[in-house]
Structures are given as C-alpha cells and as structure tokens.
Amino acid sequence: MSWDKNTVNLSALDSVKQTLDNLEVEYSLSTEAEIMGIGLNDFEDTPPHKLRRLQYDKWVMLEQMTRDADCDVDDIISSHTFLLEEEPDNWQYIVKTDIFGNEG
C-alpha cells in the first residue's frame, strides 16, 4: 500500500472574498469547522484547515471537505453557493467517502 494522499483546496471562497473586498461589498465570514489534514502536504506544524461560511447580499457560500478512506485519494476542500433562503439547515462540513466514492 502506498501513501500518495494530499489535501487539495479547490474552494472559490477566497476568490469571491477578494472580489467582494475589491468592490467594497459588505459580507460576513465565519469559521464553522477546523480539521487537521492527513495528506503528504500536511505537516506536524501545519495549522488545521478552516471550513468557512461566507454570506453576502442574498448569497451564502459554504466550504466542505471530502475525505476519502483510500490513502491514495486526495482529500478535497470545495465550496458550494446557495441562495440564502436555500442554505441547508444541517450542512455537512466534513463528508467521508470510501474508495468507491460512497458516502459514509
């Protein structure tokens, strides 16, 4: 068994935040969860990954980590955008999958 897992951040939240800053649009940003990475690019002194919630105007963006049980499949941080009134009540900030991609 090899170990080629990394933590990959594909979230668009930082880009959206930068655009809102540039346009001087008000927003609220909060950290909803913190999780330690277990990839090759996560070291002992690496701080935990923050999973955040960004709210602006009538929109909300939520981050999520998909963590795979396979030691060769990267853990992915992604972002998802919703209309504020359609924001999920029980958002899963961490989703675990197995090697076949089944949620667990």
- Convert the pLDDT of each residue in 17-59 to its tens digit: 999 999 999 999 999 999 998 888 888 888 999 999 999 999 9
Those residues whose C-beta lies under 8 Å from the C-beta of residue 24, and which sit 6 or more positions away, are none
Q: Are the beta carbons of 94 and 34 closer than 8 angstroms? A: no
Place 99 in a pLDDT band, splitting at 50, 70 and 90. low
Count CB atoms within 10 A of the CB of residue 19: 12
- In angstroms, the Cα distances linking 32 to 54, 84, 86 are 10, 16, 18
Looking at the predicted structure, is the pLDDT value of residue 2 above 70?
no
Global pTM reads: 0.88
DSSP state for residue 103 in the 8-state scheme: B
Enclosing H/E stretch for 15: helix 13-22
Q: Are the beta carbons of 96 and 104 closer than 8 angstroms? A: yes
